[in-house]
Chains A and B, each alone.
Chain A
Amino acid sequence: MTDASTGTGNVDQKLKEAYFTASQGQLIWARFKKQKAAMVGAWVLIFLILSGLFAPFLTPYDPTISGRDKDYLNGAPQIPKFWDENGFSARPFIYTTTRERSIKTNFRWVSKTDREARRYVVMFPKGDPYKMFGMSFDRHLFGADVGYIHLFGTDSTGKDIFSRTFHAINTSMAVGTIGVLIAFVLALLIGGISGYFGGWIDSVLQMITDTVRTVPAIPLFMALAAFIPDTWSAEERFFFISIILGFIGWPTLARRVRTHLLTERNQEYVLAAQLCGASPPHIIRKHLLPSFTSYIIVDLVISFPYMVLSETALSFIGLGLKDPVNSLGVMLQNVTSADVLLNYQWYFIPVIFFITLVLAFVFVGDGLRDAADPYADTKK
């Protein structure tokens, strides 16, 4: 009896101790775990990021023109089957499609599906060589024993949409990360200076920030992106677009940093540090910034999907990334034509992935924001 009660007492004590000695990170994680939507979002996000990172392995073909299937242009998605009228197969299979142009077809390309010629799905076949983490490989997760397999169909040049989608996730994450980092550095610098020093420096910097915030960013940067010389390589373009995205994002972030610093800099611990002779950069770096790292992280996660979407928008109208690089925007470039809308709806499959990606980010960002707010529990 007494044993049991002291036992629970100990557990309580331990729980309390764990709570009071927990680091900021542990507390946030504990609150974050409780939110179902955010957790689901987090899992989806991890899954998508991993599949983006391992895209070359997970997808059967090279996403550029070198991996194209010449015999299956604008091809419909091929869904692996286990049985048809010719019997059952333990191995999933697809059909062979051939293209033909002759006097019989009035000299137009006509594709024909041959239900007799099955192509079996095989695991770990040798395929297009690719590089991942600095090493070369040529094994892919799956493929067809003869010819090609296109789970999401192909586009007008015969590129595999499935492969392109996963590579595009990778590109979007990379663009978003660089963009967010640039925005972050700018925001810290400008918001930090403005919030720490206050006074006229703050007024001037705020006026500039507010002015930049008034200009509609995307049209402005469209104007800039439009003047990228055509001679630039895909990589140069990629970095330029990332930088542009960084410039779109900084003002909002800078404002939050500044507001926070303005309230924090009058706290006693800052005064103590100043009295000890610490220099302003030291105080900003060592004392003020750690006091709201969690908020900054949350802001970064929340602004991430906007970066991704801005890139998509820029690429979509042809001012962002260009063809050898894959991104959702690049893939959607030609979908507004009536031909695609009427006949090739599978061009839109990648959109589903991107809405999922953005939704996952929004859920995680929201969950993090609630989790990082120490008063979230008491408010409700």
Chain B
Amino acid sequence: MLHFARFVAVRAGLAVMTLVLVSFIVFSLMELVPGDCAERYVAFKNSQGSVITPEDIQIERVRLGLDKPYIQRWGSWIINAFRGEFGDSCILRLNISQLLGQKFWLSLGLCLSALILAYIIAIPVGIIAATSKNATLNNSLRLVSYLGLALPNFLLALMIMLFSTVMYGDSLTGLFSKEFRDAAWSWARVWDFLGHAWLPVFILGWSATAFAIQTVRALMSDEVGKLYVTAAAARGVSGRQLLWRYPARHALGPIINSLGFDLNRIFNELPIVALILTLTEAGSLLIESLARSNDQQLAGAIIFMLTASIVGLNFITDVILAITDPRVRRSIMG
């Protein structure tokens, strides 16, 4: 138990270190961007008709703490970030954690559901593809996974929109119906949400599924040929039991390990899919903060939180693997 606790602690420490490094990268990139918050704010005021002098910009900089040295600002940013506090948005002048709050959890929920959907489909299908000798099945699965790679999520979203508009005259966009958009959470709203959310989940899961099927298939076909499977078959285990108890368990380890990167890939697609489907969550807020208003504070916060959830997932999968996989468990316990 002590070993296990130490293992978890070390992993958690590593995760935090990764996050610190990530925050440094994100923060530096945001700093490299020409112009800072003070200038943007003042430029905004300027457009409202008040006359702005260079002194005003300087005053605003001091107020925002932008005159302090780089490392010091990064330090305070990262400490606040770990407390979930990202300061105010440059443009909107609103507290970022309030602004993001629910929207971020919605996005994360969508992405995680897409990930789960991908593996619910991919694990059985991949196992069947690896063990079946049926050429038609294998070829059609190959085709599907090729399409998954060649038809990226945002093109798929566009195609679905085109199709549904032409066929039904409804573009199936958004996360809520009009009457529920600003309503408080209730069962009706949840129901409405689910009615809208399946499409983004499906689209986000599309290429993830194709990718996952390929991974599962490759891992399974490596394992199926091994001697322990033959030995188990010789002992009289057969059919589904043979597959689930022996090779599938081995093949699942690397998959659990790579979940974090799958989530990364889904996050990559999120903003664009969100834009097409006009989802009102963090993805579109990110685009909003980037494309329209050059809001580096907000953009940095969103990217940091996305990365944090990937690092978090990596940490969780590490721990799960240590609990479920006896080989890993043994290596930890020494």
Contact = CB atoms under 8 A, between A and B. Distances in A.
Given A317-B275, A336-B158, A358 B149 contact: yes
Nearest to B268: A218
Interface in A261-319: 305, 309, 312-313, 316-319
Contact of A305 (B30, B35, B149, B260): B149
B272 A317 contact: yes
Interface of B: 18, 21-22, 25-26, 29-30, 32-35, 146-147, 149-152, 154-155, 158-159, 161-162, 165-166, 169, 171, 260-261, 264, 267-272, 275-276, 286-287, 290-291, 294, 296, 299-300, 302-303, 306-307, 310-311, 314
Nearest to B302: A219
A223 interface: yes
A239 to B, nearest CB: 17
B166 A342 contact: yes
A215 B307 contact: yes
A257 B158 CA distance: 37
A218 B269 CA distance: 8
A100 interface: no
Given A341-B171, A362-B146, A213 B291 contact: no
Interface residues of A, number: 43
Nearest to A363: B146
A138 B264 CA distance: 48
Contact of A222 (B165, B261, B286): B286
A208 B152 CA distance: 28
26 contacts: A207-B21, A210-B18, A211-B21, A211-B25, A214-B311, A214-B314, A215-B22, A215-B25, A215-B307, A216-B303, A217-B268, A218-B268, A219-B268, A222-B291, A223-B299, A223-B303, A226-B299, A313-B152, A336-B161, A338-B171, A341-B165, A341-B166, A342-B165, A342-B166, A342-B169, A351-B159
Interface of A: 207-208, 210-220, 222-227, 229, 305, 309, 312-313, 316-319, 332, 335-336, 338, 341-342, 345, 348, 351, 354-355, 358-359, 362-363
Contacts of B267: 216, 219
B44 to A, nearest CB: 17
A222 B290 contact: yes
Given A217-B268, A355-B151, A345 B22 contact: no
A226 B290 contact: yes
B33 to A, nearest CB: 4
B166 A216 contact: no
B158 A226 contact: no
B131 to A, nearest CB: 15
Instruction: Say whether chain A's binding surface is mostly helix, strand, loop, or mixed.
Output: helix
Contacts of A341: 161-162, 165-166, 171
Given A211-B22, A332-B158, A359-B146, 4 more contacts: A227-B35, A336-B275, A338-B171, A341-B165
B315 to A, nearest CB: 11
A319 B158 contact: no
A313 B272 contact: yes
A262 B137 CA distance: 39
Given A208-B21, A223-B30, A348-B162, A218 B150 contact: no
Contacts of A317: 271-272, 275, 287, 291
Nearest to A226: B290
A222 B146 CA distance: 26
A210 B310 CA distance: 12
Nearest to B314: A214
Given A211-B22, A214-B314, A216-B264, A224 B29 contact: yes
From A219, A225, A351, residue with most partner B Cβ within 10 Å: A219
A229 B171 CA distance: 34
A214 B260 contact: yes
B294 to A, nearest CB: 6
Contacts of B26: 215, 220
A171 B33 CA distance: 26
B283 to A, nearest CB: 8
A151 B268 CA distance: 35
Given A319-B290, A362-B149, A216 B310 contact: yes
